[in-house]
């Protein structure tokens, strides 16, 4: 199969769809890989590394798309790339269609088959290709949240950490999936007082068994419980995810107005539209804005801040699926693997994933 890896062009996006090692494995299976020039240069994957692994280096995105059948990306194609796409392409990437209806419809109109990494499933109901990036985003949320609590960055001027004879600061995590659990671990390491909020009583019980009760509250999610937690929180992490759908707005503007001045919220769910009513997508160049005195961090590609780690983690998860698509052909691979087929969001000019169609009101 002819496999293309265009250079990512989203703001501050230095991740790349395939590592040289992944290219070597695909080349050894008699697949031709085309890499756009300098796609991995910012994270140390040089063109010569790709050439040594068997890839052909192409100077333009247009040529990569023209020669390739299977397109491996990290982030969803953006409008500048639509002109290169057509019905001969299968795009394997994070698509996050529910987060932007206009882009979803425009991307669908290109005619591509689109397999979304975030809706590929596993036997246990988990999302194995979303998980590594969620894990990274969860860890980063405490780092960036703590950073923006500093006074020079408009925060209240407090430290999430253990200071002798001073009460610990309060961190609230809403949604205890993969990202939320990683945020919890990081907050515990930083000696914060934690409020963990989730809809699932079973999830909360499991977390209690894992992390104990020292400086942690486990709270069933309701409007009232969220509002009460927000009133006293210094840092709030939103990590609510519903497969294929837009994230529910669990924090309203009315709740926001009751938060402390200079508090920080980090919306990990922003790729799916965000779980705070006040969330607006931001970039690594301009990651925050202030609304009602609360700093909002809503960067849509958080793991892009650690592109080398993120690329290596992503490739470990995606390579078996890429090999399956390449070795069998897309149609047969989807037919024989129901979990991979759950990733199919777009085909023949239509959104075909039921949850995504519902989220987009199609």
Which is nearest to 355 in space by CA: 172, 154, 96, 71?
96
Q: How does pLDDT run across 100-158, given as a tens digit for each residue?
A: 889 899 999 999 999 999 999 999 989 999 999 999 999 999 999 999 999 999 999 99
pLDDT of residue 109: 95
pLDDT of residue 229: 98
Q: 361 and 160 in contact (C-beta within 8 Å)?
A: no
Provide the angle, in degrees to the nearest 10, between the axes of the packed helices 131-148 and 178-189: 40
Q: How far apart are CA 63 and CA 52, in angstroms?
A: 20
Q: Which residues of the chain carry a pLDDT beneath 70?
A: none
Q: How far apart are CA 29 and CA 142, in angstroms?
A: 41
Q: How far apart are CA 19 and CA 46, in angstroms?
A: 10
pTM: 0.92
pLDDT of residue 106: 94
pLDDT of residue 163: 87
Helix, strand, coil % over all residues of the chain, rounded to 5: 40, 20, 40
Active site residues: 96, 271
pLDDT of residue 162: 82
pLDDT of residue 123: 93
First and final CA of the chain: distance in angstroms? 33
pLDDT of residue 324: 98
Q: How far apart are CA 175 and CA 275, in angstroms?
A: 10
pLDDT of residue 361: 86
What does the buried/exposed string (b/e) look like for 98-117 if buried means 16 or more CB atoms within 10 Å of the residue's CB?
bbbeebbeebbebebbbbbb
């Amino acid at each position: 199969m002819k496999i293309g890896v265009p250079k990512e062009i989203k703001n501050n996006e230095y991740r790349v769809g395939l590592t040289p090692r992944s290219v070597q494995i695909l080349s050894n299976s008699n697949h031709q890989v085309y890499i756009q020039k300098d796609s991995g240069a910012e994270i140390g994957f040089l063109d010569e590394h790709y050439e040594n692994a068997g890839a052909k280096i192409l100077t333009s995105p247009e040529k990569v798309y023209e020669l390739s059948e299977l397109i491996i990306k990290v982030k969803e194609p953006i409008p500048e790339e639509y002109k290169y796409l057509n019905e001969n392409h299968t795009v394997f990437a994070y698509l996050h269609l529910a987060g932007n209806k206009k882009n979803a419809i425009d991307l669908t109109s290109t005619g591509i088959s689109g397999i979304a990494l975030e809706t590929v499933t596993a036997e246990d109901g988990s999302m194995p290709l979303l998980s590594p990036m969620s894990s990274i985003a969860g860890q980063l949320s405490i780092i960036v949240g703590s950073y923006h609590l500093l006074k020079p960055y408009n925060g209240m001027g407090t430290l999430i950490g253990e200071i002798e004879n001073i009460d610990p600061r309060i961190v609230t995590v809403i949604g205890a999936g993969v990202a939320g659990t990683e945020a919890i671990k990081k907050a515990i390491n930083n000696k914060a007082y934690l409020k963990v909020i989730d809809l699932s009583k079973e999830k909360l019980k499991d977390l209690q068994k894992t992390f104990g009760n020292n400086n942690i509250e486990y709270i069933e999610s309701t409007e009232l419980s969220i509002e009460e937690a927000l009133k006293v929180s210094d840092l709030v992490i939103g990590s609510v995810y519903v497969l294929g759908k837009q994230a529910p707005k669990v924090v309203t503007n009315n709740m926001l107005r009751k938060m402390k001045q200079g508090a920080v919220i980090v919306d990990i769910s922003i790729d799916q539209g965000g779980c705070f009513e006040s969330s607006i997508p931001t970039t690594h160049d301009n990651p925050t804005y202030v609304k009602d005195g609360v700093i909002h961090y809503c960067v849509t590609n958080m793991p892009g801040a650690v592109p080398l780690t993120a690329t290596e983690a992503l490739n470990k998860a995606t390579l078996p699926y890429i090999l399956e698509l390449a070795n069998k052909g897309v149609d047969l691979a989807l037919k024989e693997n129901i979990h991979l087929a759950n990733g199919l969001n777009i085909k023949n000019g239509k959104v075909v994933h039921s949850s995504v169609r519902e989220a987009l009101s199609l």
